[in-house]
A = this chain, B = another copy of it.
Amino acid sequence: MSTPPPIKLATIADVAAAANVSRATVSRVMNGLSTVDATIVDRVREAAERLNYRPSETARNLSLGRTQTVAVVVPDLGNPMFQAILRGVTRAAAEDGYRVLVGDTQEQAGAERDAAIEARRRCDALVLCAPRMDDDSLRDVLATTTPVVIVNRAVETEAAPQVSADYAHAVGLVIDHLFDLGHRHLIYLGGPLASASNQLRMSGLDAAEKRYPELRIDRRTVGTGLDDGWSSAETVLESEASAVVAFNDLVALGLLSRLRELGTSVPEQLSVVGVDDIPYSRFSDPSLTTVSMPQDELGIEAWRRLGLTTHADARNEPLWLEGSLQARESTGPLRKK
């Protein structure tokens, strides 16, 4: 007779019966507990092999009270930043035998709470990336989801470790660079005012203005993508600033593209800098001066701070990861008109 299509998977009981031992013994063998007679080990192994037996993850999850899984919730899976974090967590967690469950809230702040709690229920821990919800809601969520770590979102709390890319510092780096080149009038092309990441950059601008009293920085809100940079060219030219600090590389590259069309030469007439150092920035024309941000490390550090593994690092002060300046062709010394 042929095996019926709905292939009933072998259970531990089947193997026990086939090997003529108790389920307990099969369990011990499968988990490599040393206290089992060698001949029995063989017998069980053989039976398991023959029946193509694999322990049910679901059942051992229930029994052990853990899932060996960590949830990663991001606002937008299409964002390269979050892709990098996801990749970092996935690989770091994999080394410790953990899997990753992803959640994409699609930029709906209202959906974050449920997504986080739901994800955490299925997993042993949670990595919450750049949550858009307000501080109070966030603290509330953190209380019910430990262990949890927050990535790229500063919030006053002891309830969870935090790991963030230091965009204030990054902006400081490019401004130092531009200042050294003689620029005294800059324009900042910002992202969404509400975004934590944009606020961080703004505080970097503030700090720079304190550092350099002669410096003037205009601020505009334009967006985060190539198109946003492209359409901000007129704004930039009208401002008569001699250098542009873009929200990120995409905005900077979009702007470069449009400036080329308009016949504005970079860096001769205008210096442009981005933030992130995406791969293409080395290849654009001109190549883009920017700040290389340790995005993968965010994920890796997040995983470590979760403290699920032995070589964990469970310190609780917020961790700020700093980028490094990549000076390229899109910046040059200020030219007198």
Query: Which residues of A pack against B, CB within 8 Å?
Result: 52, 54, 56-59, 61-62, 67, 69, 77-78, 83, 86-87, 90-91, 94, 99-104, 106, 117, 119, 121-122, 144, 225-226, 230, 253-254, 257, 260, 279-280, 282-285
Which partner residue on chain B sits nearest A225 by CB separation? B279
Residue of A59, A77, A144, A225 with highest tally of chain B CB at under 10 A: A77
**Contact between A280 and B58 (Cβ–Cβ < 8 Å)?**
no
**Contact between B78 and A122 (Cβ–Cβ < 8 Å)?**
no
- The interface residues of chain B lying within 8 Å CB-to-CB of A117 are 54
| Known contacts A61-B61, A285-B257: A104-B122 contact under CB 8 Å | no
| Cross-chain contact of A59 among B62, B83, B87, B282 (Cβ < 8 A) | B62
> How many angstroms from the CA of A95 to the CA of B204 in the assembled complex?
40
Does more than half of chain A's interface fall in helix, strand or loop, or is it mixed?
Answer: helix
- The interface residues of chain B lying within 8 Å CB-to-CB of A230 are 283
> How many angstroms from the CA of A59 to the CA of B58 in the assembled complex?
8
**Contact between B226 and A253 (Cβ–Cβ < 8 Å)?**
no
| Known contacts A83-B83, A230-B283: A104-B121 contact under CB 8 Å | no
Copy total for this chain: 2
**Contact between A280 and B91 (Cβ–Cβ < 8 Å)?**
no
> How many angstroms from the CA of A57 to the CA of B124 in the assembled complex?
12
| Cross-chain contact of A77 among B57, B90, B226, B260 (Cβ < 8 A) | B90
11 contacting pairs across A/B (C-beta < 8 A): A52-B144, A56-B62, A61-B61, A61-B62, A77-B86, A77-B87, A90-B102, A94-B104, A99-B122, A226-B279, A280-B280
Q: For the A-B complex with A52-B144, A99-B103, A285-B285 known, give 4 more contacts whose Cβ atoms are closer than 8 Å.
A: A225-B279, A230-B283, A280-B280, A284-B284
> How many angstroms from the CA of A14 to the CA of B260 in the assembled complex?
68
